[in-house]
Amino acid sequence: MTTPTASASPRASALPLRPELADEAPYGAPQLDVPVLLNVNENPYAPSEEVVATIAADVAAAARGLNRYPDRDFLGLRGDLAAYLGRESGVTLSAEQVWAANGSNEVMLHVLQAFGGPGRSVVSFAPTYSMYPEYARDTHTRWVAGRRNEDFTLDAAHAVEVVEREQPAVILLTSPNNPTGTALPLAVVEAVLDAAARVRVPDAPDGAGAVVVVDEAYAEFRRAGTPSALELLADHPNLAVARTMSKAFAAAGLRLGYLAASPALVDALRVVRLPYHLSAITQAAARAALKHTTALLAQVDALRAERDGLVDWLRAQRGPTGEPLAVAETDANFVLFGTFADRHAVWRGLLDRGVLIREVGPAGWLRVSVGTPEETARFKDALTDVIAGVITEQEA
């Protein structure tokens, strides 16, 4: 007697998947085992032994109480994050003005769960972070993408026109923008906030206006004189400013993102969060890392200098056609450069030489994360070889 396998069962492939998910693939950049990883904007410097020791001790203390649920509202962590933002930006915040979750991805999802939904829209401006449309899809919120200028800046008049036309419930601004690295002047943010205040959101109270989120995941890497939207919080109760510990704090593996907003906006996010969504271990590890803010942010200064040097070097290079490479202005820990007739061939050539970068953004462009000086040198050598090889092939 032959036992039927699971694949032979007609029920195995008959899952009631939502129709709009039928052809979707899970989000994710390639995770490959190569010597130089410069594709997902991680901080290349591992935490010091002192930081590791503090995290280990604090996590061990938290582990002794794992039989109990974690602090559901984690005001201790939120207070520590508020204190950090005050130090970093000069804006005084209370614990009640901060929210945190498992990465800024979950924070953004909370925003769309609370303020998006069927019959509502979310607006952003492309090219921008590729997860935004997925947050909209997963919350049944209509996605609308305005455009950025050719240099990836955002025209305030165009942004206001899109907001006035679409009447969105949520507006997502990104500063510095991913994948371009472009920072937004506060005047542009203020113009969008003014337009958002006039929006009539479906099924919302009169005068509610739209929620504006400024995603500042890379804000710590911004150049001197580039402001943070945190400075606008006091005058705009519908504004939220999102941050993360993944980049500047060298804690991508921790998965801790957060935002600052009015207490009323934060309370709305508490309604949609899952019970005890932030584990005791995560809370302990994040608070431990924040004890070492000075040492961790010292690495940010080194990465800024490495980024600026990389931008200068790329602008001095010529592509396969002999034209100087185009390099976007960046206030992040990555650089968008191009343009290439066949960017995949360049990406593949770098990978063949042990350097992984990201094939993302507008056609013809590539994005490289800022690494250590040694990693940057490997990238430069590899790119020089790849471009020379492409030129040789064209001449042949």
Q: How confident is the model at residue 155, as a pLDDT?
A: 98
- At 198 the pLDDT is 97
CA distances from 341 to 314, 320, 364, 391, 393 (A): 17, 9, 6, 12, 14
210 half-sphere exposure, CB direction, 13 A CA radius: 31
Average pLDDT, the chain: 94
Contacts of residue 89, Cβ cutoff 8 Å, sequence gap at least 6: 228, 230, 231
Instruction: Please list, residue by residue across 34-62, b when 16 or more beta carbons sit within 10 angstroms of its beta carbon and e when fewer do.
Output: eebbbbbbbbbeebeeebeebbeebbeeb
- The domain ranges of the chain are 29-47+295-395, 49-291
Structure-token pair, residue 385: 């070889």
CATH number for the domain running over 49-291: 3.40.640.10
Q: What pLDDT was estimated at residue 201?
A: 95
186-197 vs 156-166: helix axis angle to the nearest 10?
Answer: 20
pLDDT exceeds 80 at position 113: yes
pLDDT, tens digit (0-9, with 9 covering 90-100), for 133-147: 999 999 999 999 999
Q: Which residues contact 146 (CB under 8 A, 6 or more apart)?
A: 123, 124, 125, 126, 158, 159, 162
Least confident of 12-16, 133-137, 167-171, 207-211: 12-16
Instruction: Indicate whether 77 pLDDT > 90.
Output: yes
Residue scoring higher pLDDT (378 or 23): 378
Pick from 95, 109, 145: nearest CA to 124 = 145
Which range has the worst mean pLDDT, 24-33, 108-117, 244-253? 24-33
pLDDT at res. 395 = 46
- Assess whether pLDDT exceeds 60 at residue 317: yes
Note the pLDDT of residue 367: 98
Structure token pair of residue 136: 């909209």
Confidence of residue 396 (pLDDT cuts 50, 70, 90): very low
What pLDDT does 285 receive? 98
Q: Which amino acid would we find at residue 105?
A: N
pLDDT of 8 higher than 60: no
**Which fold would CATH assign to domain 29-47+295-395?**
Aspartate Aminotransferase, domain 1 (3.90.1150)
pLDDT surpasses 60 at 151:
yes
| Residue 261 β-bridge partners | 240
Which distant-in-sequence residues (6+ apart) come within 8 Å of 112 by Cβ?
A: 122, 135, 136, 138, 139, 141, 170
Per-residue pLDDT band for 62 (boundaries 50, 70, 90) equals very high
